Amino acid sequence: MLGVLHGYIRVVDAVNYRVGRVVMYGIFVLMGILLWSSISKTFFLPTLWTLEMAQFVMVAYYILGGPYSIQLGSNVRMDLLYGEWSLRKKAWFDLLTVMFLIFYLCVLLYGAVSSTAYSLGYWGSEPFSFLGGLVAGTEEVGRLERSSSAWRPYMWPVKTVMILGMFLMLLQCISELFKDVLRIKGETV
């Protein structure tokens, strides 16, 4: 059983590490978009797409970088008491709090799947079966949701990124849960 936990931790941490290392360069993409926005507004005609595209890039940067941040332990903690605790006591506390986070992420994932299904033209009450049907080829895309801005981009790409980010974050939180279980048992992680 311990081998399964170690294997899961190793695979999920490796995937989220690589995704996080790639996504961290998204800040340069965001800077390029905002720089172009400033230049085009100053010297040329203002572009319609820059502000909304910057928002989409920021969503991807934030959501796909979250699991990497959790993995590195660079998330914000209230260190008033936590810093003085033993590793075992920290593991018990982290085990409890990560369970709340996993529940919250499940709710967010359900919302992201529902929102993505809506953006693909599905108005029913079974978004998971709709997206599964799209993958299997038994469902068809309906009227695609577009942004209400002047640029009017389709919304499904950024919502798909949200699903991927929430899923990777959920996997990383389960990995953190397993790490806490192993620390409580006295194993090294």
Which range marks the domain in which residue 173 is found?
Answer: 2-184
Residue-wise pLDDT for 27-41, tens only, equals 999 999 999 999 998
118 lies in a domain? yes
Structurally, the chain folds into a number of domains equal to: 1
32 lies in a domain? yes
In 3D, which of 53, 55, 65, 57 has the Cα closest to residue 23?
65
pTM over 0.75: yes
Residue-wise pLDDT for 13-26, tens only, equals 999 999 999 999 99
In percent, how much of the chain has pLDDT > 90?
A: 61
pLDDT of residue 41: 87
189 lies in a domain? no
176 lies in a domain? yes
pLDDT at 141 over 90: no
pLDDT of residue 75: 75
Q: Which residues pair with 154 in a beta bridge?
A: 146
44 lies in a domain? yes
pLDDT of residue 189: 78
pLDDT of residue 29: 95
Q: How confident is the model at residue 73 (pLDDT cuts 50, 70, 90)?
A: confident
pLDDT of residue 83: 80
Q: Cα–Cα distance between 50 and 40 in angstroms, integer?
A: 10
